[in-house]
Structure 1
Amino acid sequence: MARGQLNSQCTVNEQCDGGETMICNRGQCECLAGFHPLVDPVTHPLRNPSQTCTRDCDSETLSRDTTCLKPVALEAHCFIQKQCPINSGCYRGRCQCKCGFKKDNQRCIELPPSPTTTRQPSVIVPGTMIVPAGDFLSLIGNFFGGTGARSATGR
């Protein structure tokens, strides 16, 4: 038996979304009591009517299919994106700040832009002493019996 969509013809409830969110009333699938047609960015009541029903939830909860979910705090367990605070999303079951944002108390704030300036290059003057600051080459030199700092001219 094929499953019908909202407002499609039917003879039994099972044809209407398997009877989970719709009922067959007078030969047409309609939302059960406590449900309403799903409206999202893709659907439009007149041009592209909804094909499914979603649970009616109070103003403090969010609908997910047949369940009402409450909004949650940052880093709390979540099931859908809409549960999470602004500038965050539900990643692996927890509300986390989106890329480009960082946690600040219980909200996500935008990270400052990366600096676009670069450091000035170091100038090496011949004949001056180069003092190693724990770099890799001085470590190798010490390992092979070197004495540490040497002048740039080899003296």
Structure 2
Amino acid sequence: MTRLNGKTAIITGGATGIGRASAKRFIEEGAFVFLFGRRQEALDAAVAELGPNARAVKGSVSDEADLDRLYAAVKAERGTLDIVFANAGAGSMSKLGEITAEHIDETFDTNVKGTIFTVQKALPLMGPGGSIILTGSSAGTTGAPGMTAYSASKAAVRNLARS
């Protein structure tokens, strides 16, 4: 399969879970993939599994300087970018009456601010025909008990995609 032959992709939250599985599929389809995540050990394991068409850049989507380093690495090695998969996400259980400012900051800094700046900072490297993929959640449309901040952040991501 070569539907992505010669394409360059970045996947935030790419070292584990949905991100890692997507990276594997993108590479099987011919893409070169940059994985972006916070845990070096998980990034190293993913690159070891995925092979020579994978690179890892350690950082957080909630830190604009880290995102700048990611896109500088993409530009230096590949020159352009075809696919942005804004997959990084955070969320934890917290009842409405127990939510703290720190909980909201962590959730929204990753899920909303991180998604917006992941996409925005990619735009100068993308040309016509590029793809932007955002990971959402059913919690963003239906809510989820105990997941108030997470549900609100995923509703914001859903509307970002619509905008």
Question: If the length of structure 1 is used for normalisation, what is the TM-score?
Answer: 0.19
- Which has a greater percent of strand? 1
- Which has a greater percent of helix? 2
Q: Which structure carries more relative contact order (alpha carbon 8 Å, separation 6+)?
A: 2
Larger radius of gyration: 1
